[in-house]
A = this chain, B = another copy of it.
């Protein structure tokens, strides 16, 4: 398939490597910024190297273009990763639709906007689909999909399944889709715990890695409470422990990201980083992600 990546940042580069190496697609990319275009090839190469370590073969080189028309040559799939500004995306979609053929799908990696907030900017919104990944998209399998058009949604499920992703279709759209709503809810309490002085930034993160986060990489929250209910499962849990969950919900925090909270979070994160720069931390994260992805081949996840 001819795939066009719009936006050569981290997400665009990660998609490009995945679509090329795992999808065997012919990938072209576009970015209006010369700096972004210049840095793109190295980012793609780094992601592709990780995919090769996971067993993929290097794909065809990804072309990167200054002119949108060239990047869209023969496009059958467009993956948009432009900055999260509606006007900018609207202009871009209008330009793209004036070039592509009628059957080309436009997928947006947007994390901030819903389908309805963007679809109005398209002439043919039936070909438009939200396809939101988790960073880094070439390693984290989840892609959240939403489109009211069944054929487009089906095409998106196939497209992302074919590149080894785990597509999840939303039945109804929501700000933050699913994963970032869960992540926001968790972070709100994590900020509260730090702001309230219950634990340090580093200790909250340590709790996740060695406790609930570890478990959520293996079993989801709902099925987890099914196991927490013992022999009676989720029904026992809801009946006997539901009320104590509701009581705990009423004690959860509602922090503001004011100056003091931000200062505490920032200081705590820098302490936790212990002098490691962002690229080094990314590398450590990716090493572990890749190791887990490898073991999942031998130990299928509980939903398979």
Are B299 and A112 interface neighbours, CB within 8 A?
no
Size bracket, chain A contacts? 35 or more
Q: State whether the Cβ of A228 lies closer than 8 Å to any Cβ in chain B.
A: yes
Our pick among B141, B254, B265 for the contact of A234 (Cβ within 8 Å) is B265
Cβ–Cβ contact B216 & A212, under 8 A: yes
A-B contacts besides A135-B227, A243-B257, 14 pairs, CB < 8 Å: A140-B210, A142-B206, A168-B210, A181-B193, A182-B208, A184-B245, A186-B212, A194-B222, A204-B221, A205-B220, A208-B216, A222-B269, A223-B281, A292-B292
Picked from B166, B180, B211, B225, the residue with its CB within 8 Å of the CB of A210 is: B166
Does A302 sit within 8 A of B, measured CB to CB? yes
Asked whether any CB of chain B lies closer than 8 Å to the CB of A38, the reply is no
**Which residues does chain B contribute within 8 Å of A210, judged by CB atoms?**
140-142, 166, 168, 301
Quick one: CB contact mask for A12-34 with B, threshold 8 Å, 1 for yes? 00000000000000000000000
A242 to B265, CA, bound (A): 12
**Distance A144 CA – B203 CA, assembled complex (angstroms):** 10
Could you mark each residue 104-144 of chain A with 1 if its beta carbon is under 8 Å from any beta carbon of chain B, else 0?
A: 00000000100000000000000000000011000011101
Contact of A278 with B by CB under 8 A: yes
Q: Are A170 and B182 CB-contacts (below 8 A) given A230-B278, A265-B238?
A: no
Does A175 contact B221, Cβ atoms closer than 8 Å? Answer: no
Selecting from A56-64, A74-82, A93-101, A282-290, the interface stretch reads: A282-290
| A248 interface residue (CB < 8 Å to B) | yes
- A235: interface (CB < 8 Å): yes
Contacts of A168 in B (CB 8 A): 199, 203, 206-207, 210
CB distance from A274 to the nearest CB of B (A): 9
Could you tell me if A182 and B212 are in contact, using CB atoms closer than 8 angstroms? Answer: yes
Whether the pair A179, B301 counts as a contact (CB closer than 8 A) is no
Chain B residues positioned under 8 Å from A248 (CB to CB): 175-176, 180-181, 184
> Does A169 belong to the interface (CB within 8 Å)?
yes
> Cβ of A190: which chain B residues have Cβ within 8 Å of it?
182, 221-222
Answer whether A222 and B201 are a contact pair too, CB < 8 Å, given A188-B252, A212-B183: yes
B172 close to A197 (CB less than 8 A)? yes
Contacts of A238 in B (CB 8 A): 257, 262, 265-266
Which residues of B lie under 8 Å from residue A198 when comparing CB positions? 170-174, 178
- Min CB distance A97 to B, Å, is 27
Q: Which residues of B are found within 8 Å of A234, using beta-carbon distances?
A: 265-266, 269-270
